[in-house]
Amino acid sequence: MDQATSIDAPSAELRQPLPGDGRPPVVLQVLPALVTGGVERGAVDMAAALAAAGWTAIVASEGGPMARELSRCGAEHITLPLASKNPLVIRRNADRLAEIVANRNVDILHARSRAPAWSALMAAERTGCHFLTTFHGTYNTGGYFGLKNRYNAVMTRGERVIAISEFIAEHARRVYGLDPDRIRVVHRGIDLNRFDPARVSPERIIQLAQKWRLPDGHRVIMLPGRLTRWKGQSVLIEALALLGRHDVRCLLVGSDQGRTGYREELEALVRRRDLVDVVHLTDECNDMPAAYMLTDVVVSASTDPEAFGRVAVEAQAMGRPVIVTAHGATGETVMPGRTGWLTAPGDAEALAQALDRFLALSAEERAGMAQDAIEHVRANFTKETMCAQTIAVYREVLGLASGTS
């Protein structure tokens, strides 16, 4: 969309005052839907944290299974067609958001995705509401006449732009010329009530091992991630072929999301490399904490940079060493030599060497890495830390002293 023509002039009669009348601040988060994913998880976690802090938390989206979590935590969900990229729908969404801002005394509109961000920006300009964004990825760039970059650039229009990693912050500065003074880095956080080794029963682990027909006495290597080429499943298969060991098992855990051609390509590669007894494609898993506990080492072989790298953090929280590609945010989430290893993107030989190093570790060395990994995540990547840092950004924008409501 064209920034010069898509923003209506602010409407004085709808302009909202800053909190100061004794009421709790009101935050409206907007995103396409509440089905699954890191963007959605962050929005729900933030809504719960705001409600617990006594703020008013509202989320607008097209809805989905995760919307039920909002009502349970004391937040409100409003259904709008915010996933649409149709300019007319975006305009209508802006009108509706402006009404919500006016009627509900919304203080902050927080956009977590591009199409909803355009609607939210229009509504904020029209009402005087504060506008914030979270920059979640690098997004595809280019297109005819730079239209894609102009569309993406809405994520840089917030009074404050929350980047989910230093890597994303640098990307926003370099590609979009975003003023560093407006960027606040807030790493994603995971739920340690879920990703806690002590909370996973042996029965859950046994159930998965039986489902996946894993034999006793074999080390297990896992690559979690949807079956899409840039996640690097083929790189891991080639690395296992170079490793040349058949006393290990490798699990490729993730849905093909309709990419049956790529799944067939991976299965053919497994056969060509004589790894049918080693590599298993398992589809999705609805108990990832148990899957991590069943695994000895977790691999993220992404050939494109990860904006954050949730898999590596979840695995470390469960005490599992990780092998990840050395680009994107991996340098921020993994401690090389202490909680895992970094390898060059697309380098099957380097990945095979890292797997060999892991398999040579003693039981004492593995236990030490597990402890370091758990402590690393607990110190840096909890959802409580993420929510507290985000609320601090909200307070900054509203001019509230730290610790006040």
**pLDDT tens across 256-266, in order?**
888 899 999 99
Top pLDDT among 7 and 354 is at 354
Chain mean position to CA 160 = 19
Residues of the chain with CATH 3.40.50.2000: 3-189+383-398, 197-380
Please say if the pLDDT value at position 147 is more than 80: no
**Mean per-residue pLDDT for 275-292?**
95
Angle at which helices 233-243 and 348-359 pack, to 10 degrees? Answer: 60
Quick count: other Cβ atoms within 10 Å of Cβ 181? Answer: 7
Radius of gyration for the chain, computed over Cα atoms and rounded to the nearest angstrom: 23
How far, CA to CA in Å, does 74 sit from each of 42, 67, 354, 383, 390?
Answer: 16, 11, 46, 18, 19
- Torsion of the alpha carbons at 64, 66, 72 and 74, rounded to the nearest 10: -80
Residue whose C-alpha is closest to residue 129's, from 113, 111, 112? 111
What value does the mean pLDDT take over residues 325-351? 96
Q: What is the pLDDT of residue 98?
A: 98
pLDDT for 182 equals 97
**Which DSSP helix (H) or strand (E) runs through 299?**
strand 297-300
Task: Note whether 48 and 72 are within 8 A (CB).
Answer: no
* pLDDT in the model for residue 144: 55
Q: Give the residue among 300, 35, 157 at the shortest CA–CA distance from 43.
A: 35
| pLDDT bracket for residue 284 (50, 70, 90) | confident
**CATH code at 197-380:** 3.40.50.2000
Round to whole Å and give the CA distance between 45 and 292: 22
Instruction: Spell out the residues 6+ positions from residue 402 whose beta carbon is closer than 8 angstroms to its own.
Output: 392, 395
pLDDT at 5 over 80: no
- Coil, helix or strand at residue 12: helix
Tell me the per-residue pLDDT of 80-127, one tens digit each, with 9 for 90 and over.
999 999 999 999 999 999 999 999 999 999 999 999 999 999 999 999
Q: How long, in residues, is the chain? A: 405
Q: CA-based diameter of the chain, in Å?
A: 72
- The one-character DSSP state at 23 is P
pLDDT digits (tens, 9 = 90+) for 13-62: 444 444 556 789 999 999 999 988 889 999 999 999 999 999 999 999 99
Eight-class DSSP state of 247: S
pLDDT (average), residues 147-155: 88
The confidence score (pLDDT) of residue 149 equals 83
The model's pTM: 0.89
The answer to whether 112 and 140 are in contact (CB under 8 A) is no
Residue 373 confidence (pLDDT) above 80 = yes
pLDDT score at 23: 85
CATH dotted code for 3-189+383-398 = 3.40.50.2000
Question: Average pLDDT, whole number, for the chain?
Answer: 92
In this structure, are residues 29 and 56 in contact, taking their beta carbons and an 8 Å threshold? no
The token duo for 142 is 């280019």
In terms of Cα–Cα distance, which of 393, 403, 402 is closest to 107? 393
Q: And the tokens for 131?
A: 């506008």
Phi, psi of 111 (to 5 degrees): -95, 135
Residues 135, 155: contact at Cβ < 8 Å? yes
